[in-house]
Amino acid sequence: MKWRGPAVLVALLAVGAGGGYAASAQSRDGSIGSGVPAPVPAQAPEMPVEAPQPPVPDPTDPPLEPDIAMAPQKVGTGKFEITFPAPVGWSTNANASNEWKWKKPGTSNNTYVMRIEQINSQDITIQDAINIRIERLRAEQDDVVIVDRGAETLEYTYRSNEGNARHSFMRWLDLDASGQADVEIVVHGREKDVPGTRDLIRRVAEGMEGAGGGPVG
């Protein structure tokens, strides 16, 4: 009897292929789905981002002008006493034993205002004070932009809690040449107040004296 190996092998392969196809066909789900197609929810959908809102309109009060009348004023006691020029006719409000605010009577909120604070007890350099102020601004206020930073000055803009655009100037003074910041001055205003607020903080800082007397260098 002759060996028909090739022919038998071909036949077996054909049977195997046919059986596999039949098994596959039986196990395949031939049903057709029903219902209306619907989008699949995202695994981590992002919340919609609101478009930036424009600032609230500024109060219509006239702008603060440069070269307003000033007169000497004294705050603090003993070695913490300071003397400086302050706007004539502005009301003074003590926010704390070491902090005072000046505002022109009759002006609206979010116009212009000046604040002076003695910070002797903090024992920090002027550069440290500026760094702390910038960090606090960015953490507590919206739309903060640092316009200019000097050795002892800071100019910035931000959005107030009421939604108004604000333009501010700050200055720190070392009255006794100790290397530590003694006084912090800030003047807030609107954009149209900038010439007046810049002039005001310059004149206050340049005319400030500590308990020992003498102009600030």
Residue 202 falls inside a structural domain: yes
The answer to whether the beta carbons of residues 181 and 111 sit under 8 Å apart is no
Residue 7 falls inside a structural domain: no
Residue 158 falls inside a structural domain: yes
pLDDT for 179-210, tens place per residue? 999 999 999 999 999 999 999 999 999 999 98
Residue 20 falls inside a structural domain: no
Q: What is d(CA 100, CA 114) in angstroms, rounded to the nearest whole number?
A: 8
Residue 35 falls inside a structural domain: no
Residue 54: predicted pLDDT: 85
Annotate 168-205 with DSSP letters as a single string. EEEEEE-TTSSSS--EEEEEEE-GGGHHHHHHHHHHHH
Q: What is the pTM of this model?
A: 0.75
- CATH code: domain of residue 109: 3.40.1000
Range of the domain at 94: 87-206
Residue 121 falls inside a structural domain: yes
Q: Of the ranges 44-53, 75-84, 119-128, 154-163, which one carries the lowest mean pLDDT score?
A: 44-53
Average pLDDT, the chain: 83
Residue 2 falls inside a structural domain: no
Confidence of residue 164 (pLDDT cuts 50, 70, 90): very high
Residue 25 falls inside a structural domain: no
> Domain tally for the chain?
1
- When pLDDT is averaged across residues 159-186 and rounded to a whole number, the result is 95
Phi, psi of 182 (to 5 degrees): -105, -40
